[in-house]
Amino acid sequence: MLLTTSDLHTDYQVLGLVQGSKVKAVHLGKDILAALRRLVGGEVTEYTKMIRDARQAAVEEMIAEAEKLGANAIICIRYSTSSVGQGMAEMVAYGTAVKI
């Protein structure tokens, strides 16, 4: 599956919008560690991992949706994230499923 954030400069058939969405949370212990890290500064690795895992899961869901449509590429991929609550985030990946 070809994944790109840009358009393709070749002929393709548009199959439709595909998306994946995941909400992830860190457990209370990691949330407490993250709060302590905010006091001293630096990377909050607990949240970094949470966002990375959510992004990967959203992309996998988006790819599965595109494969159901018979696509072999997803173009113009975009990502969006939002805070759902303390220590929770939603990651959305979306793009246009195409057949080259």
pLDDT digits (tens, 9 = 90+) for 23-56: 877 655 655 666 666 666 667 777 778 888 889 9
Looking at residue 70, its pLDDT comes to 97
Fold of 2-99: Translation Initiation Factor IF3 (3.30.110)
The domain limits of the chain are: 2-99
Q: Tabulate helix, strand, coil % of the chain (nearest 5).
A: 35, 40, 25
Measure the CA–CA gap between 74 and 100, rounded to whole angstroms: 10
Global pTM value:
0.80
Under a CB-based contact definition with an 8 Å cutoff, are residues 96 and 14 in contact? yes
Q: What is the mean pLDDT of residues 4-19?
A: 93
